[in-house]
């Protein structure tokens, strides 16, 4: 009989830690299973496959290999039963460290090992509806000041001046510098003739469109700010425990996105790290807090979706999936569909939260 294991939890990494041992008499049984497997698979000269004598197979394989396989076989077969008795919800294969093992057979000492198994996340939602209502009630009416409008119009005038100077033969850098130095009174007008070339009815209509666009952009920023504040409070009001591997997934995703961005700039990851004088490990350490926030956010949104029976629109999932396949031809279709479905479901949850008044 094996000794009753010691079970603890690593609350920070949200892992179950099982310290157990396998008794010598159990090791003997596992050894016989391992030897039977070696005999069945043996291909020794002078014997048909699987028909070599046991003694010959033992001599050919060697005691060290048999003992190594016996230890692995024992843990693989007894650990699941030990975990099942704990009724713990495990989400990935345990990481096993053998602390002590017999060095010969017959075994007189047990196999002593430690297994760390990531636990399923636990989320206790706070009062997300009340939090959403509070933030939705704090909506501010966005206005565009005359100063903001004038600054934008002047920026567009400088842009027109820059383009004109490029057309006259200056380099883009020279044109940008000259346009930047021009006084406001010398900037080209955004008159009817010019705005009509852009497809607008008149300078007045163009000015109105600019004001509307400024307002739209300010509204979007205000919405994003209010949404971020609301979601942050909902996450903080919830109790979230999750295994460390979920943060690793987030860090891997952040790293992958950074690599894509760097490659689009025409740089290699190695060159970028050399220029910034940082290692990838340094960068991932800097991301620790954002990755933790992302992991908790995903879990909270998923649980709200479950509680409120919110899901992504199937037609939209299919449409987005078809579009994404054309851009990510080497991606796994099942992974891509799942990613899109989760993203759209989270978007639906946020929309639902913003409708609570």
Token output for 322:
């078809």
CATH class of the 6-120 domain in this structure: alpha beta
Task: Please report, for the chain, the start and end positions of each structural domain, with discontinuous segments joined by +.
Answer: 6-120, 141-230
Distance CA 74, CA 70 (A): 6
> Which segments of the chain are extended strands (E)?
6-10, 15-22, 95-100, 111-118, 122-124, 239-241
Distance CA 282, CA 273 (A): 10
315 class by beta-carbon count within 10 Å (0-12 exposed, 13-18 middle, 19+ buried): exposed
259 class by beta-carbon count within 10 Å (0-12 exposed, 13-18 middle, 19+ buried): middle
What local confidence, expressed as pLDDT, does residue 87 receive? 81
3-class state of residue 274 by DSSP: helix
| Helix-strand-coil split of the chain, %, nearest 5 | 65, 10, 25
Distance CA 355, CA 357 (A): 6
What local confidence, expressed as pLDDT, does residue 1 receive? 45
Cβ–Cβ contacts within 10 Å for residue 32, how many?
Answer: 11
pLDDT by 10s per residue, the chain, length 357: 467 889 999 999 999 999 999 999 899 999 999 999 988 888 888 888 888 888 888 888 888 899 999 999 999 999 988 888 888 789 899 999 999 988 888 888 899 999 999 999 999 999 999 999 999 998 888 999 999 999 999 999 999 999 999 999 999 999 999 999 999 999 999 999 999 999 999 999 999 999 999 999 999 999 999 999 999 999 999 999 999 999 999 999 999 989 988 988 888 889 999 988 999 999 999 999 999 999 999 999 999 999 999 999 999 999 999 998 888 778 888 888 998 999 999 999 999 999 999
């Amino acid at each position: 009989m094996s000794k009753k294991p010691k079970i603890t939890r690593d609350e920070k990494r949200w892992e179950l830690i099982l310290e157990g041992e396998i008794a010598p008499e159990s090791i003997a049984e596992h050894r016989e299973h391992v030897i039977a497997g070696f005999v069945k698979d043996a291909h020794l000269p002078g014997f048909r496959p699987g028909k070599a004598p046991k003694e010959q197979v033992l001599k050919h394989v060697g005691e060290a290999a048999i003992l190594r396989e016996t230890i692995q076989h024992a843990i693989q077969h007894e650990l699941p039963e030990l975990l099942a008795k704990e009724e713990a919800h495990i989400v990935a294969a345990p990481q096993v460290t053998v602390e002590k093992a017999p060095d010969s057979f017959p075994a007189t000492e047990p196999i002593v090992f430690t297994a760390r198994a990531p636990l399923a996340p636990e989320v206790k939602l706070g009062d997300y509806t009340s939090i959403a209502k509070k933030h939705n009630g704090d909506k501010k009416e966005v206005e565009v000041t005359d100063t903001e409008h004038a600054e934008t119009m002047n920026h567009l005038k400088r842009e027109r001046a820059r383009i004109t100077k490029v057309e006259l033969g200056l380099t883009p850098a020279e044109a940008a510098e000259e346009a930047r130095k021009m006084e406001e009174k010398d900037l080209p007008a955004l008159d009817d003739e010019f705005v009509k070339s852009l497809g607008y009815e008149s300078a007045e209509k163009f000015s109105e469109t600019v004001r509307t666009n400024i307002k739209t952009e300010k509204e979007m920023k205000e919405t994003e700010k209010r949404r971020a504040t609301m979601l942050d409070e909902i996450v903080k009001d919830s109790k979230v425990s999750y295994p460390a591997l979920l943060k690793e997934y987030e860090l891997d995703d952040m790293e992958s996105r950074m690599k894509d961005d760097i490659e689009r700039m025409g740089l290699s990851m190695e060159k970028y790290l050399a220029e910034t004088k940082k290692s990838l490990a340094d960068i991932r350490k800097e991301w620790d807090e954002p990755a933790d926030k992302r992991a908790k956010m995903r879990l909270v949104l998923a649980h709200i979706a479950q509680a409120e029976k919110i899901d992504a629109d199937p037609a939209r999932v299919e449409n987005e999936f078809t579009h994404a396949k054309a851009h990510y031809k080497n991606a796994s279709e099942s992974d891509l569909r799942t990613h899109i479905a989760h993203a759209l479901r989270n978007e639906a949850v946020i929309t639902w939260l913003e409708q609570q008044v």
